[in-house]
C-alpha cells in the first residue's frame, strides 16, 4: 500500500490541470486514468480531435469559395486514412506532451480504473492487470462525462454513432442524420457535410443551440442551412430501427413534410447531451452526495460532503466545458493547499466551433429577459468591419450586454469567423469590471476583427465610426 497527499481520479483537463498545479505547489500527487497519458475526453475524443477535423473542413470550404476571389481549385480529393492519421497524430502529440509534463513534475501517473474504498483510500485496477491500493489525505474526483443516449435512440448497430464513433471517421456516408442541434452535433455534422455527406439535423426545440441568443444563432443558422441538406426544428425522433438499407428513422413534429414521417439514413449521430460519470464504484462508501440531476454535489470551494474529497469538471455540473474543469481543478488545489479560494467566475466563455463560430460569455440577452433585468445592448454588424470585408466574411455580429446605469459590460456575444478567439477579450472585460468607456478608449489594431469589440462600445454611445445612426 502506498500513500500520497493528493490523488486525482480522472486525467481530463480538470484532473491533469489539478494534478500538475498541486505538484507545482509541492504536494505529492498521484493521477489515475484509464488512458496511456493524461488528456481525458477533451484531448482523446472531444475538443481536440473535433477541432482538428473542423480545421480541415474549413480549408475545404474556403477552397470552394475561392472561385469568387478569382482562384479556382478542383474539387478536393479526400484521403480519409490520411485525414484520420492527421487527427490521431494531433491527439498523440498532445497526450504525449501531457504525459511528459506530468513526469517532469514527478506526478505519479497510474494507468488504471479507480474504486474508492473509503474516505481515505482507493484501489486501482491497473491496465497491466495488477492492483494497487493508495491512501490519501485528499482526493479530487474528475471523472468527467460520457455521451447520453436515451433508450429510444439506443440501436445496437455500428451505423448509429455517438460523438466518439463519429470522430473515428469510419467513412463519409452518403446520408447522415444528426440527432440534436447542440454544439457537438453542429460541429461534427459540419465536418461530415463539408466532406460530402448529405446531413440532416433534427432538433426538438424551436431553434439550434438552445441557450445562446437568437440574433447570434440566426446568423449561424443561415449558413448551416446552406451546408446541411435539412434542419428539422421542433421535431423529434420517435423510433429508430436498423434495417438492411440503412437506419430507418421515424419523426414527429414540424419537420415532417407531406406526411413523410419516415426516412432512411446511412449513418446516425446521436448527440443529445452528456451525462456525468458520478457512479464511480465505492462512492457509496463515502459521504459524497449525488444530486437529482446526477452531478456530484460540491460547494464553491469544490468540496463534496466528505471533507477529504473534492470534485471538479463535468461530473459536478454545467457548463460541461474543458476550461471550466481546469479552472475548478486549480481552485480545488488551492483550497487543499490552505488558500481561501472559491470558484466564482463572472464569465465562463462558451464557443461553438462551426463556421461561422459562435461565442458568448457572461450575461446573455435572453437570460437578462428571463430575470427581468434592465440591460442595454450594443451591436456592431460585421458588414461595417473592414477586416470582415477583406475576409469576405461579413456574416458576423458583435454585441455587448451592458448595465445601462454603470455602463459596465455584463456579457459579450459574438458570431463570425474567429469568434472563439475574440471572446477572450470579452471575458477579460467582464472579469475586470470594465465599462463601455474602457473598451472604447482601448486602441485596437487595424484592420482586425477585434475592432468590432471597440466599435460595439462606440455603438453604445451612438458614436461608432463605421455605423451611422441619425440623431433622433
Ligand atoms: C465531441 C466533443 C467536443 C468537445 N469540444 C469541446 C470544446 O471545444 N471546448 C470545451 O471546452 N469542451 C469541449 N468538450 C467538452 C470537454 O471535452 C469536457 O468538458 C471536458 O473534457 C471535461 O473535463 P473533465 O476533466 O471533467 O473530464 P473528462 O475529460 O471527461 O475526463 C475524465 C477522465 O476520467 C476517467 N475516469 C472516469 N472514471 C474513472 C475512474 N474511476 N478511474 C480512472 N479514471 C476514470 C475517464 O476515462 C476520462 O479519461 C467536447 C466534448 C466532446 C465529446
Determine whether the shortest distance from the Cβ of 46 to ligand 1 is under 6 A: yes
| Average pLDDT of the chain to the nearest whole number | 97
The two counts, helices (H) then strands (E), for the chain are: 13, 21
Residue-wise pLDDT tens digits, 126-153: 999 999 999 999 999 999 999 999 999 9
Q: Give the three-state DSSP class for 243.
A: strand
Residue 472 clears pLDDT 90, i.e. is over it: no
Whether the CB-CB separation of 325 and 13 falls below 8 Å is answered with: yes
The pLDDT score that the predictor gives to residue 418 is 97
Rg over alpha carbons for the chain, rounded to the nearest Å, is: 24
Nearest residue CA, atom 19 of ligand 1? Answer: 321
Tell me the C-alpha distance between 311 and 140, whole Å: 5
Nearest residue CA, atom 34 of ligand 1? Answer: 10
Element at 456 (helix H, strand E): helix 451-460
Question: Starting at the edge strand that comes first in sequence, how are the strands of the sheet with 357-362 ordered?
Answer: 350-352, 357-362, 409-416, 397-402, 376-381
Determine whether the shortest distance from the Cβ of 221 to ligand 1 is under 6 A: no
- Which string of b and e fits 377-400 if b means at least 16 CB within 10 Å? bbbbbbebbebbeebebebbbbbb
Average pLDDT over every residue of 200-220 = 96
Give the nearest ligand 1 atom to 124 CA: 42
Average pLDDT over every residue of 399-409 = 97
Question: Ligand 1: distance of its center to the CA of 46 in Å?
Answer: 7
Determine whether the shortest distance from the Cβ of 195 to ligand 1 is under 6 A: no
Share of the chain above pLDDT 70, in %: 100
Q: How confident is the model at residue 468 (pLDDT cuts 50, 70, 90)?
A: confident
Nearest residue CA, atom 47 of ligand 1? Answer: 34
Pick the closest to residue 378 from 395, 361, 403, 357 (CA basis): 403
Average pLDDT over every residue of 24-39 = 98
Residue 263 clears pLDDT 70, i.e. is over it: yes
The pLDDT score that the predictor gives to residue 469 is 81
Question: Ligand 1: distance of its center to the CA of 43 in Å?
Answer: 8
Residue 211 clears pLDDT 90, i.e. is over it: no
Place of cell 474526483: 141
Show Cβ contacts of residue 365 under 8 Å, excluding neighbours closer than 6 positions: 213, 215, 375, 377, 399, 401, 411, 413
What cell does 329 get?
Answer: 481543478
The pLDDT score that the predictor gives to residue 323 is 98
Site to substitute for ligand 1 among 7, 47, 148, most atoms within 8 A of C-beta: 47
Residue-wise pLDDT tens digits, 75-111: 999 999 999 999 999 999 999 999 999 999 999 999 9
Question: Ligand 1: distance of its center to the CA of 202 in Å?
Answer: 25
Residue 470 clears pLDDT 90, i.e. is over it: no
Q: How far is CA 232 from CA 189, 225, 366, in A?
A: 14, 10, 23
Q: How far is CA 107 from CA 31, 36, 104, in A?
A: 7, 14, 8
Residue-wise pLDDT tens digits, 303-348: 999 999 999 999 999 999 999 999 999 999 999 999 999 999 999 9
Average pLDDT over every residue of 195-221 = 96
Nearest residue CA, atom 12 of ligand 1? Answer: 321
Predicted TM-score (pTM) of this structure: 0.97
Nearest residue CA, atom 33 of ligand 1? Answer: 10
The pLDDT score that the predictor gives to residue 169 is 94
Question: Ligand 1: distance of its center to the CA of 327 in Å?
Answer: 14
Question: Ligand 1: distance of its center to the CA of 325 in Å?
Answer: 9
What is the set of active-site residues? 446
The pLDDT score that the predictor gives to residue 382 is 98
Amino acid at each position: 500500500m502506498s500513500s500520497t497527499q493528493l490523488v486525482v481520479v480522472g486525467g481530463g483537463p480538470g484532473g491533469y490541470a489539478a494534478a500538475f498545479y498541486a505538484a507545482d505547489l509541492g504536494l505529492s500527487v498521484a493521477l489515475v486514468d484509464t488512458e496511456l497519458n493524461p488528456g481525458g475526453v477533451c484531448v482523446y475524443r472531444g475538443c481536440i480531435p473535433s477541432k482538428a477535423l473542423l480545421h480541415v473542413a474549413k480549408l475545404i470550404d474556403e477552397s470552394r469559395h475561392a472561385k469568387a476571389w478569382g482562384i479556382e481549385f478542383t474539387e478536393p480529393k479526400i484521403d480519409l486514412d490520411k485525414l484520420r492519421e492527421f487527427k490521431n497524430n494531433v491527439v498523440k502529440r498532445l497526450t504525449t506532451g501531457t504525459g511528459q509534463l506530468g513526469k517532469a513534475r514527478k506526478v505519479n501517473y497510474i494507468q488504471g480504473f479507480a474504486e474508492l474504498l473509503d474516505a481515505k483510500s482507493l484501489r486501482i485496477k491497473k491496465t497491466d492487470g495488477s492492483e494497487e491500493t493508495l491512501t490519501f489525505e485528499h482526493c479530487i474526483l474528475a471523472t468527467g462525462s460520457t455521451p447520453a443516449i436515451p433508450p429510444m435512440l439506443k440501436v445496437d448497430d455500428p451505423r448509429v454513432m455517438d460523438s466518439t464513433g463519429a470522430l473515428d471517421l469510419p467513412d463519409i456516408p452518403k446520408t447522415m442524420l444528426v440527432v440534436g442541434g447542440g454544439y457537438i452535433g453542429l460541429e461534427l455534422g459540419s465536418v461530415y457535410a463539408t466532406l460530402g455527406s448529405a446531413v440532416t439535423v433534427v432538433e426538438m426545440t424551436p431553434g439550434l443551440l438552445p441557450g445562446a441568443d437568437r440574433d447570434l444563432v440566426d446568423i449561424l443558422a443561415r449558413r448551416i442551412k446552406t451546408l446541411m441538406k435539412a434542419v428539422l426544428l421542433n421535431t423529434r425522433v420517435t423510433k429508430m430501427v436498423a434495417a438492411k438499407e440503412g437506419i430507418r428513422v421515424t419523426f414527429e413534429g414540424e419537420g415532417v413534410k407531406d406526411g413523410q414521417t419516415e426516412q432512411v439514413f446511412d449513418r446516425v449521430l446521436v448527440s443529445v447531451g452528456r451525462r456525468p460519470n458520478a457512479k464511480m464504484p465505492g462512492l457509496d462508501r463515502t459521504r459524497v452526495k449525488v444530486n437529482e440531476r446526477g452531478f456530484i454535489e460540491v460547494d464553491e470551494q469544490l468540496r463534496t460532503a466528505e471533507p477529504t474529497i473534492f470534485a471538479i469538471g463535468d461530473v459536478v455540473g454545467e457548463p460541461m466545458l474543458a476550461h471550466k474543469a481546469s479552472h475548478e481543478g486549480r481552485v480545488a488545489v488551492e483550497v487543499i493547499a490552505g488558500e481561501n479560494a472559491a470558484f466564482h467566475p463572472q464569465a465562463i466563455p462558451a464557443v461553438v466551433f462551426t463556421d461561422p463560430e459562435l461565442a458568448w460569455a457572461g450575461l446573455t440577452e435572453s437570460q437578462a429577459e428571463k430575470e427581468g433585468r434592465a440591460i442595454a445592448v450594443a451591436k456592431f454588424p460585421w458588414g461595417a468591419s473592414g477586416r470582415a470585408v477583406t475576409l469576405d466574411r461579413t456574416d458576423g455580429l458583435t454585441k455587448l450586454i451592458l448595465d445601462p446605469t454603470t455602463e459596465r459590460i455584463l456579457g459579450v456575444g459574438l458570431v463570425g469567423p474567429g469568434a472563439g478567439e475574440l471572446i477572450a477579450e470579452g471575458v477579460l472585460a467582464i472579469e475586470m469590471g470594465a465599462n463601455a468607456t474602457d473598451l472604447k478608449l482601448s486602441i485596437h489594431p487595424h484592420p482586425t476583427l477585434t475592432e468590432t469589440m471597440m466599435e460595439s462600445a462606440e455603438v453604445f454611445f451612438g458614436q461608432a465610426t463605421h455605423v451611422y445612426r441619425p440623431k433622433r
